[in-house]
Amino acid sequence: MVTSRKERAPTFGEELDLLYLELIKANAPYEDCKREFLKLEKRWVQKAKTTHQRLAVQRIITSTILTEAYGERMPWKEFGRWIRRFQQLGFRDLGMRVHVACLYVQSLHRFPRQARQAWDMLEDAEQRALRLRRDRPLRQEHLESIAHAKKVARVPRPPPQ
């Protein structure tokens, strides 16, 4: 017997997507979005059976909140909090590392004192992308994202110390 979509509980991804749509429709401010995403994280971390599952939930929520913080032009106190959380949790994959590094470099005009750390993170992501085989489609996609971030960055890379 096949269970229909309505009969089974939503997955984490489905629940996150539904919450996101609800918040967008409500035109919810950043603080409300953050609060709702953290409530969702707490619920799913409690449901998780393994450390790997808990980390996956935390990383996805952190990425979501960081993206919102970037979009809402949050100051370093708030934006930096999510960068630091990523550094503690680690990155799920190269795509997430590239995404975070690109957001970081593109937001430096709001907190230029963080330039060295942001550019180092972007350079690390680029080196990792360059190590992918040339025939991997994600290699080119990652390199294009990095090139775009470099092009639109308003704060240049600081000279070596």
Q: Which of 65, 90, 115 is the last residue of a domain?
A: 90
The label of the residue with tokens 């269970």 reads 3
Question: What value does the mean pLDDT of the chain take?
Answer: 95
Residues 6+ apart with CB under 8 A from 101: 118, 121, 122, 124, 125, 146, 149
**How far apart are the C-alpha atoms of 12 and 43, rounded to whole Å?**
10
Q: What pLDDT does residue 18 have? A: 96
Asked if 74 and 99 sit in the same domain, the reply is no
CA 17 to chain centre: 15
Judged against a pLDDT cut of 90, whether residue 50 lies above it is answered with yes
Asked if 33 and 80 sit in the same domain, the reply is yes
pTM listed for this prediction: 0.91
Residue pair 10/18 in contact by the 8 Å Cβ criterion: yes
Judged against a pLDDT cut of 70, whether residue 28 lies above it is answered with yes
